[in-house]
Amino acid sequence: MTPGAETMVARDLKLRLIYPRFQKFLDGHERLKPLVQKHQVGNYTMPPPLGLPLIAALTPPDIEVNLTDDNIGQPVDYDEKPDLVALSFFTPQANRAYAIADEFRRRGTKVIMGGIHPSCLPEEALLHADSVCVGEVEPVWDEILADTRAGTLKRLYKPVGEYDLARLPIPKRSIFEGDNYSWSAHLVLATRGCPVRCTGCPIPLKEGLDIRFRPVAKMIEDIEAMPFKQFYIIDDTVMLPNKRRILPYLMSLMEATAGRGLSIFLASTMMMFADPEFYRKLKRGGTSSMYTVFGFDRLSRALLSPECSPKEWQDGIDLVHMIEDAGIHFFGSFGVGSDDQDEGVFDRIIQFCSESGIDLAEFYIETPFPGTPFGQRLEAEDRILHRNYDLWNTGNVVYRPKGMTEDQLLSGFQYLWEEFYDGKDENRTLRTFEGVMNRPV
């Protein structure tokens, strides 16, 4: 090597990715423990999110990348000396993420944060981090690595313009140890951005109002690389009733997935097509389950309100039957505590589930998450009770509701779980979730 040449060689970097632990939303509800043990609903561990696997995939192979999955109890080694610690998290993980970051920084290690919560509250996150990535990481990750190497890490990184999902790499899911997650499935990303401002969703703020689609060929490449045949498309935007852009994309994807022996979970609201042939096409494409969130979109809010008309009620029941008749399992996720609900909402939910034949459901307390219209309104009205983010997991009352007391909301939430699952066959509860049933709790 010629004299001075060593100064031209890039310094090797060592990264430590950390996924912080969080409290499941039924933890702490002792009266529901027998139900959880019997049915496992609310207790199974979801497949890991895509943020850290995408970072691992974006990182050049000459950089050492290691993961600590704090959520399954892997120990955090604070004595390690990585060049950068990266934490990605959502609100129920925030307290734990901040504690981890504070300890690393106390020992002189640089920390960067990203994900939904830091993107929505960057100034709060910067109290515990050297840097925050706001929004999508893909456009700025190379810059973050270069600045880490140069010792010039910026306080904030924000992408300029929209990221082309055709460039999205296949997530490096292998960084998570699969045997520790009870649902043998993967999460798959199909879109980013959403033009619909549902009251409880931060996606428009984080990803923009324009829907961007991942090319179907890239989706198939990702699916073919997975060890499991079951996966969950995490974007409910693919089920929005927009015939001009969304419907052609979804039908193209279903044509590509048909005949591959797949089991696909789709997510939606009640804003779906009332067309039996549409659901038969989804079934032919491999769709096995429809996870449907009630509480944030205008149709489900009307359905659960005291002013719901007989036609609206019957239309909702007919839609559930239409999906089930196509051979797709309907999974209802019912939110309670919104300002337009009264104490009668709990019985209305049970009645709707009974009349429509829903046999798989979960129930959650609406939570004023940062970056959502609901959260912004409750913040402005000074109705948020505390910032103990451990309890911001949709299983606790963290704000003052309007249509009922805090005690009535919590009691109604517990009543829903007990009343709905009373008499249900535990061997059928999660029948479309591969790997979950018969696992010890």
Strand pairing report for 191-192 and 212-213: antiparallel
Tens-digit pLDDT profile for residues 111-162: 999 999 999 999 999 999 999 999 999 999 999 999 999 999 999 999 998 8
What is the pLDDT at residue 178?
Answer: 63
**Token match 């979109």: residue?**
297
Go through the chain and tell me how many residues it has.
Answer: 441
What is the pLDDT at residue 439?
Answer: 40
Tens-digit pLDDT profile for residues 402-432: 999 999 999 999 999 999 999 887 777 766 6
Whole-model pTM: value is 0.92
**Average pLDDT for runs of 10 along the chain of length 441:** 37 92 85 77 70 96 95 94 97 98 98 97 98 96 97 96 94 81 77 87 85 96 88 89 86 96 93 94 96 90 91 96 97 94 96 95 95 95 97 96 96 95 78 49 35
Domains recognised in the chain with CATH numbers: 11-157 (3.40.50), 182-421 (3.80.30.20)
Rounded to whole angstroms, the Cα distance separating 160 from 336 reads 37
